[in-house]
Amino acid sequence: MTFANATAIDAAEHPYTARIHDGWDVVGNANGGYLLAIGARAMARAANQPHPVTVSAHYLSPGRPGPVTIDPQIVKAGRRLTTVRATLLGQEKPLIELLGSFSDITRIEGPQRVDASPPDLPPPEECQQVIPDPKVGFPPAMMGRLNLRLHPDDANFLAGKPSGEPLIRGWLKLADDEPMDVFGLLLATDCFPPTIFNANLPVAWTPTVELTAHIRAIPRAGWLRCRFSTRFISGGMLEEDGEVWDESGRLVAQSRQLALTPVA
Amino acid sequence: MTFANATAIDAAEHPYTARIHDGWDVVGNANGGYLLAIGARAMARAANQPHPVTVSAHYLSPGRPGPVTIDPQIVKAGRRLTTVRATLLGQEKPLIELLGSFSDITRIEGPQRVDASPPDLPPPEECQQVIPDPKVGFPPAMMGRLNLRLHPDDANFLAGKPSGEPLIRGWLKLADDEPMDVFGLLLATDCFPPTIFNANLPVAWTPTVELTAHIRAIPRAGWLRCRFSTRFISGGMLEEDGEVWDESGRLVAQSRQLALTPVA
């Protein structure tokens, strides 16, 4: 099943309905970027705008496969931006709470200055593809829906040898070369292995409290180059900063999440 | 009037009431960090939690002095975190829409690793204090409520000579040495001059679409060291990243905003 189908919305009635499909999970819980993509599709539909500009998600409960509902509420429909909030409900519980502003980003213009570059990566075929291992549950099932290839310097945690730096870089495509739209970029901001896997710290997982993604451009066809890094692990939390660049070398999305760091 | 009084909430009835006070504005419009502090105080009260952990604000309409209402709605009261959304209404219009998670951050623990340092600043007395100029409206009135001292390398835009780098660093206190609490940190994330003032680009102002702030620790008494920088000016928008450190050298808040870059 394609990402487009796996995140499709039925907007015939309010609240909208959708479904958490099998195979987009990490040890049984739906990936946060996947849930965000479902929620944002519903919000964009309600806003009658094609693109999320900035959307924040607070993660409340793990999502399991099955039906969900989303109830987008227009907060303000402005000349350029439409602001929407929504709750994604599953199993009669709120799974994520969302707030975002939507627009047609191709119609917003301004000057250009970029003081950063895409991550320097060896060609995809020289990078380490992450393949799910159904027996162990790690790498997770979701990796079967993606073509994710890690920078060799950042991939040794897969063999139990973390680099020591909370940094993960790599190439990303959807499986079977499915085209990546702006909602796919939301998935991209949260589908890489957590940066903590490369830090030598007694933290086994980092449940996301909140993730904010900015969509800065529509990606060209092809590979995405992604970079996730963490500078601040303190007070029981960490931030993880993401940059997603397209094959033409343009920043297409930027993200930051705040996650808890429970001691393993 | 103190910042504490200028952001006080009356929570006797729902919706809560507050007031946008004079003197916290930029050419007549209330500062975004000031509005965020009012909204977050109301949300924390409703959550019965002392600290914002992460809060996002979408800016909808300019705030003018006068009464406002805030209607915090609990989305989920969890074991550790309580998630709340709210609309701050003034002049019968939504001014900002808010979503945040609140907790007692002193009760969350975990490992520590920080790969960053506070900005290197000359002593406050060798930095450039920003003083309001009521005749021109710039620097804005709000600067009279703050003790804001810019790094000399970043302050020459005040004399019409931008540095060319979208970077602003400086020391911050509230006026009259009023103690800075976690809500003051929210103000801190949006009260510095915009980074664009140091870029040589035809952009006169950068209206905030969305700002997300993470509160990472309770600040010690004394000066805050702050750093605001921008790397991505593209597609009619820019991001501005903030770090707020306390006098003990600890990161106390981190922020990112997305703003529009209308051509002057």
The DSSP line for A182-206 is HHHHHHHTT-SPPGGGGS-SSB---
Q: What is the mean pLDDT of residues A14-40?
A: 96
Element (H, E) at A15: none
pLDDT band for A227, please (50, 70, 90 cuts): very high
- The answer to whether B180 and B236 are in contact (CB under 8 A) is no
Q: Please check whether residue A129 lies inside any domain of the structure.
A: yes
Instruction: Tell me the C-alpha distance between B6 and B33, whole Å.
Output: 12
The confidence score (pLDDT) of residue B135 equals 87
A113, A232, A251: residue with CB nearest B201: A113
Q: Which of residues 131-170 of A touch B (CB under 8 A)?
A: 166
* Chain B residues whose beta carbon lies within 8 Å of the beta carbon of residue A202: 111
Q: Please check whether residue B111 lies inside any domain of the structure.
A: no
- As a whole number, the mean pLDDT across chain A is 96
- The answer to whether A236 and A229 are in contact (CB under 8 A) is no
Q: What does the block give as tokens for B264?
A: 């002057």
- The answer to whether A190 and A255 are in contact (CB under 8 A) is yes
Q: Please check whether residue B46 lies inside any domain of the structure.
A: yes
The 10s digit of each residue's pLDDT in B175-189 is 999 999 999 999 999
Dihedral-angle region of residue B160 (phi above 0 means left; psi in -120 to 50 means alpha; beta otherwise)? left
Q: Please check whether residue B253 lies inside any domain of the structure.
A: yes
Instruction: Tell me the C-alpha distance between A132 and A147, whole Å.
Output: 11
Q: Are strands A82-90 and A113-114 parallel, antiparallel or unpaired?
A: unpaired
Q: What percent of chain B has pLDDT over 90?
A: 92
The confidence score (pLDDT) of residue A37 equals 98
Q: Please check whether residue A112 lies inside any domain of the structure.
A: no
pLDDT at B40 over 90: yes
pLDDT band for B74, please (50, 70, 90 cuts): very high
The 10s digit of each residue's pLDDT in A105-149 is 999 889 999 999 999 999 999 999 999 998 888 899 899 999 999
Q: Which of residues 2-41 of B touch A (CB under 8 A)?
A: none
pLDDT band for A92, please (50, 70, 90 cuts): confident
Name the residue among A232, A22, A93, A60 with its Cα closest to residue B242.
A232
Name the residue among A259, A60, A211 with its Cα closest to residue B78.
A60
Q: What is the greatest pairwise CA distance in chain A?
A: 52
Q: Which of residues 72-91 of A touch B (CB under 8 A)?
A: 75-76, 78, 80-81, 83, 85, 87
Q: What is the DSSP letter of B23?
A: T
Q: Would you call B258 and A54 a contact, using CB atoms and an 8 Å cutoff?
A: yes
Question: For the domain that residue B14 is a member of, what is the CATH number?
Answer: 2.40.160.210
Q: What is the mean pLDDT of residues A247-252?
A: 96
Of residues B141 and A19, more confidence is placed in A19
The confidence score (pLDDT) of residue B114 equals 97
Q: Which of B56, B59, B165, B243 is the best mutation test for A, with the most CBs of A within 10 A? A: B56
The 10s digit of each residue's pLDDT in A143-201 is 999 999 999 999 999 999 999 999 999 999 999 999 999 999 999 999 999 999 999 89
Q: Please check whether residue B110 lies inside any domain of the structure.
A: no
The confidence score (pLDDT) of residue B136 equals 86
Q: Please check whether residue B113 lies inside any domain of the structure.
A: no
Q: Residue B196 in 3-state DSSP?
A: helix
Would you give the distance in Å from CA B111 to the centre of its chain?
A: 27
Q: Would you call B210 and A60 a contact, using CB atoms and an 8 Å cutoff?
A: no
Instruction: Tell me the C-alpha distance between A242 and A189, whole Å.
Output: 6
pLDDT band for B165, please (50, 70, 90 cuts): very high
Q: What does the block give as tokens for A144?
A: 């079967």
Q: Please check whether residue A115 lies inside any domain of the structure.
A: no
A98, A115, A239: residue with CB nearest B231: A115
Q: What is the mean pLDDT of residues A87-105?
A: 96
Q: Would you call B235 and A217 a contact, using CB atoms and an 8 Å cutoff?
A: yes
Alpha carbon distances (Å) from B44 to A31, B82, B112: 29, 9, 26
Q: What does the block give as tokens for A161?
A: 């040898």
Q: How many CA atoms lie within 13 A of A143 on its CB side?
A: 19
pLDDT band for A23, please (50, 70, 90 cuts): very high
Q: How far is B110 from chain A (nearest CA, A)?
A: 4
Length reported for chain A: 264
Q: Which residue range forms the structural domain that includes residue A234? A: 3-105+122-260
Instruction: Tell me the C-alpha distance between A133 and B175, whole Å.
Output: 58
Q: In chain B, which residue's Cα lies nearest the Cα of A234? A: B112
The confidence score (pLDDT) of residue B91 equals 82
The 10s digit of each residue's pLDDT in B117-137 is 999 999 999 999 999 998 888
pLDDT at B264 over 80: no
Total domain count for chain B?
1
Instruction: Tell me the C-alpha distance between A209 and A204, whole Å.
Output: 16
pLDDT at B192 over 90: yes
Q: How far is A109 from chain B (nearest CA, A)?
A: 4
- The answer to whether A144 and A116 are in contact (CB under 8 A) is no
Q: What does the block give as tokens for B94?
A: 């939504």
pLDDT band for B82, please (50, 70, 90 cuts): very high
Q: What percent of chain A has pLDDT over 70?
A: 100
Q: Residue B36 in 3-state DSSP?
A: helix
- The answer to whether B86 and B71 are in contact (CB under 8 A) is yes
The confidence score (pLDDT) of residue A177 equals 97
> For residues B227, B233, B236 and B242, what is the CA-based torsion angle, rounded to 10 degrees?
-20
- Residue B35's Cβ-count burial label (10 Å; 0-12, 13-18, 19+) is buried
pLDDT at B46 over 80: yes
The confidence score (pLDDT) of residue B234 equals 96
Query: Which residue's structure tokens are 């499709």?
Result: A8
Q: What is the mean pLDDT of residues B98-116?
A: 95
